[in-house]
Amino acid sequence: DLGVPVFYSGPIDRLFGYRYGELPWRSLAFEQETLKMVDFQGTSVVNYTEADVPYTRIHEFKHYHPEDKAVMSCCKTIIMREYPRTWKSGDEPYYPVNNHESQALLEKYRAEATKIDGLVVGGRLGEYRYYDMDQSIGKALELSAVHFGQ
């Protein structure tokens, strides 16, 4: 018994020393480029789903702050392309690979976690689940209400 709730939001397989093996993930590679133009795509993020496009998303950072007139009118812009990458041990885990094998492995780790009184495993990595940021915040608020009555 830990005495107080302990919240863990890292990879659940790492928490248990990978005793049943590593959960598989998808990863990303990033490529940043500075362009000599005022605007590249007119918005902060564009997703690309076409099979013949090697990247999945382009960010144009200046559009995150359209209120900053100096940034918006600057003669340069910075973009970042996201490329899907096969995950290997040591890479940053971004997206869980949901299949029968990974779910069976996850259930073993969840069973281990339930044996530790006071341990609360959560978040994208802990739950081995994809969440958008709004969902992540919502889940954190739910956990807070359950464990702290707020």
CATH number of 6-24+91-148: 3.40.50.720
pLDDT value, residue 87: 92
pLDDT by residue (tens digit) across 52-77? 999 999 999 999 999 999 999 999 99
For the chain, which residues make up each domain, given as ranges? 6-24+91-148, 26-86
Using pLDDT thresholds of 50, 70 and 90, give the confidence band for residue 1. low
Determine the 3-state secondary structure of 60 from DSSP. strand
Q: Which of 10, 29, 14, 38 is nearest to 124 (CA)?
A: 10
Distance from C-alpha of 147 to C-alpha of 150, rounded to nearest angstrom: 8
Supply the pTM of this predicted model.
0.77
**74-126 per-position pLDDT tens digit:** 999 999 999 999 999 889 999 999 999 999 999 999 999 999 999 999 999 99
DSSP string, 76-140: -EEEEEEEEEE--TTSPP-EE--SHHHHHHHHHHHHHHHTSTTEEE-HHHHHT----HHHHHHHH
